[in-house]
C-alpha cells in the first residue's frame, strides 16, 4: 500500500479535543474547554433559513456567494468596519476556517513561510501544513499582555516569508490589539512586503477598547480580512464567513474555493442576509452576557489571588497555573479527574502559553463560577503538594 501524507500525520492532536473527550466520559463534568457560544442563533435568523428552504433556495450559489448577500456585506463593511469593498472583492466562505485555509493556499507557493501567532488558534498551524507552507510562530508574550513586540519580528523573516497572520480580538487570550500595535504590524509587513491575513472573527465581542480593522490602516491591498457569522450571531454550526481582498487575491481564492468547496450553503447565506441587515440587539445582548461572565470570572480570581490575564474581548480567559508544574496538560487532567472541570491546556496554542490554561466564557455564569472555584481549589492543592 502507498504511504499517506506524513506531514498531516505529524500534526499534533489538539489538547482541547483531548480534554473534551475525557470530559464527555464524566457525566456531570463542567465544560469550559470549548469556544462555542452557548446561545442559540437568534430566532429571526432561524426563521429566515426556514423560509429560504420553503422558497426553494436549496441549490448551489455562485462560487463567490449570493450577490444579494455580498451587497449587504459591502454595506456592513463600510458602516461598521470603515472598509470600502465592492461585492466583487468579497468571497462568501464555508466558515472563516475555510476562508483562512483558502487564503493561505491562494497566496503561497509550497515551501513558503507564514508567520502565525503564539499563542494562537491551533487550526492556523494545520492550515499551513495543508497548504504545504511552513508555519513560523511569533510570540505574544504574557509579560507584555499577549501583544507582539514588533521589534522582535524582523529576525523571523526569510526570503520565503509571504504573510503574517494577525488575530485580534485573540483566541486564546482575549487580547485586543491597539491601533498603534496594528500600525506597527502593518509597517513591518510593508517593510518586508508581506501579505497581512487579518482574522477578525471576534470583531463584535469587545468589552474595552475598540476593534480596528487592519485593512483601514493600509491602502495598497496587502491586507486580506476574514470575518464570520459564527461568533457574532452564534451561528457556528451554519458554517458561514466571508473574506475581503484585492482583485487578484479574490480571483485566486475563488478558484481554490471552487475546487475545494464549490460554495457556501445557500440556505445559510439567505439567513445571513437577515442576520446582517436585521436588528442587532441580539449581538449587543450576547456581548453584554460575555462581559458579565468576564467580570464575574475576574472578580472571583482576584478574590482568590490567582494570576490571570484580563481579556478585553472574545470569550476566553487565560489563567496562569505555572506554579503547579511545567505541564499544563497535567494540571488540566488532574482538575478534570479530581474536580470534574474541563479547561484547555495553554500549550496546545503554542509554547508561549505553556503553563497557562484557557477558560471559555461561552458557558453559563453558574458553570463559570463553580468551575473557577474548583480550579482555584485545585491550584491551591497542587501548590501545597509541590512544596
Ligand atoms: C480565532 C478564530 N478564527 C477563526 C475561527 C473559525 O470560525 P468559523 O470557521 O466558525 O467562522 C475560530 C473558531 O473558533 C477562531 O477562534
Residues 129-157 pLDDT 10s: 999 999 999 999 999 999 998 989 999 99
Q: What is the CATH number of the domain that holds 250?
A: 3.40.640.10
Instruction: Out of 96, 261, 348, give the residue to mutate to test ligand 1, the one with the largest number of ligand atoms within 8 Å of its CB.
Output: 96
Q: How many helices (H) and strands (E) does the chain have?
A: 12, 13
Give the nearest ligand 1 atom to 228 CA.
11
Count of structural domains, the chain: 2
**Ligand 1 in contact with 103 (CB < 6 A)?**
no
Domain boundary among 258, 277, 296: 277
Tell me the residue range of the domain where 344 lies.
6-40+281-386
pLDDT bucket at 37, cuts 50 / 70 / 90: very high
CA 300, 358, 344: angle at the middle one, nearest 5? Answer: 125
125 and 239, same domain (yes or no): yes
Taking only the tens place, the pLDDT of each residue in 307-327 is: 999 999 999 999 999 998 879
Same domain, 35 and 66: no
Residue 170 Cα: closest atom of ligand 1: 1
Q: How confident is the model at residue 281 (pLDDT cuts 50, 70, 90)?
A: very high
Residues 232, 259, single domain; the answer is yes
Q: Is the CB of 228 under 6 A from ligand 1?
A: yes
> Best mutation site among 140, 230, 264 for ligand 1, i.e. most ligand atoms within 8 A of its Cβ?
230
Indicate whether 1 belongs to any domain. Answer: no
Which of 216, 248, 277 is the last residue in one of the domains? 277
Q: Do 206 and 65 lie in a common domain?
A: yes
Domain end, chosen from 277, 294, 313, is at 277
Q: Are residues 108 and 67 in the same domain?
A: yes
**Measured CA distances, 153 to 136, 144, 160 (Å):** 11, 15, 15
Ligand 1 atom closest to Cα of residue 98: 9
Q: Does residue 23 line the site of ligand 1, with CB under 6 A?
A: no
- Cβ burial of 366 (10 Å; 0-12, 13-18, 19+) is exposed
Q: Residue range 330-345: average pLDDT?
A: 95
Residue 212 contacts residue 231 (beta carbons within 8 Å):
no
Query: What pLDDT shows up at residue 382?
Result: 83
Cα 256 to Cα 20, 103, 262, distances in angstroms: 32, 8, 9
Cβ(37) to ligand 1 under 6 A?
A: no
173 lines ligand 1 (CB under 6 A): no
User: What mean pLDDT do residues 288-301 have?
Assistant: 97
pLDDT of 291 > 90? The answer is yes
Ligand 1 in contact with 113 (CB < 6 A)?
Answer: no
**Is 95 a pocket residue for ligand 1 (Cβ < 6 Å)?**
yes
Amino acid at each position: 500500500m502507498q504511504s499517506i501524507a506524513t506531514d498531516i500525520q505529524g500534526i499534533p492532536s489538539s489538547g482541547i479535543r483531548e480534554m473534551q473527550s475525557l470530559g464527555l466520559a464524566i457525566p456531570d463534568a463542567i465544560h469550559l474547554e470549548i469556544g462555542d457560544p452557548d446561545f442559540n442563533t437568534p430566532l429571526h435568523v432561524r426563521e429566515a433559513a426556514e423560509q429560504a428552504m420553503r422558497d426553494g433556495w436549496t441549490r448551489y450559489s455562485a462560487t463567490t456567494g449570493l450577490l444579494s448577500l455580498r451587497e449587504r456585506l459591502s454595506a456592513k463593511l463600510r458602516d461598521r468596519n470603515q472598509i470600502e469593498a465592492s461585492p466583487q472583492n468579497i468571497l462568501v466562505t464555508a466558515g472563516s476556517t475555510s476562508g483562512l485555509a483558502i487564503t493561505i493556499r491562494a497566496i503561497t507557493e509550497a515551501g513558503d513561510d507564514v508567520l502565525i501567532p503564539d499563542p494562537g488558534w491551533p487550526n492556523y498551524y494545520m492550515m499551513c501544513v495543508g497548504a504545504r507552507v511552513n508555519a513560523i510562530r511569533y510570540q505574544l508574550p504574557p509579560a507584555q499582555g499577549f501583544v507582539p513586540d514588533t521589534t522582535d519580528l524582523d529576525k523571523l523573516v526569510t526570503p520565503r516569508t509571504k504573510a503574517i497572520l494577525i488575530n485580534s480580538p485573540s483566541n486564546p487570550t482575549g487580547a485586543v490589539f491597539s491601533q498603534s500595535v496594528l500600525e506597527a504590524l502593518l509597517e513591518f509587513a510593508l517593510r518586508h512586503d508581506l501579505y497581512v491575513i487579518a482574522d477578525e472573527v471576534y470583531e463584535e465581542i469587545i468589552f474595552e477598547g475598540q476593534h480596528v480593522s487592519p485593512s483601514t490602516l493600509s491602502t495598497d491591498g496587502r491586507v486580506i480580512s476574514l470575518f464570520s457569522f459564527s461568533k457574532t450571531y452564534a451561528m457556528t454550526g451554519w458554517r458561514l464567513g466571508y473574506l475581503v481582498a484585492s482583485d487578484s487575491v479574490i480571483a485566486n481564492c475563488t478558484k481554490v474555493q471552487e475546487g475545494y468547496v464549490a460554495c457556501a450553503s445557500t440556505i445559510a447565506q439567505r439567513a445571513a442576509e437577515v442576520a446582517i441587515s436585521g436588528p442587532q440587539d441580539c449581538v449587543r445582548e450576547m456581548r453584554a452576557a460575555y462581559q458579565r461572565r468576564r467580570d464575574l470570572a475576574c472578580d472571583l480570581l482576584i478574590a482568590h489571588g490567582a494570576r490571570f490575564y484580563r481579556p478585553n474581548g472574545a470569550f476566553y480567559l487565560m489563567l496562569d497555573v505555572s506554579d503547579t508544574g511545567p505541564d499544563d496538560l497535567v494540571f488540566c487532567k488532574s482538575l478534570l479527574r479530581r474536580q470534574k472541570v474541563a479547561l484547555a491546556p495553554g500549550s496546545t496554542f503554542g509554547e508561549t502559553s505553556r503553563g497557562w490554561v484557557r477558560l471559555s466564557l461561552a458557558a453559563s455564569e453558574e458553570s463559570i463560577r463553580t468551575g473557577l472555584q474548583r480550579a482555584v481549589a485545585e491550584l491551591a492543592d497542587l501548590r501545597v503538594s509541590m512544596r
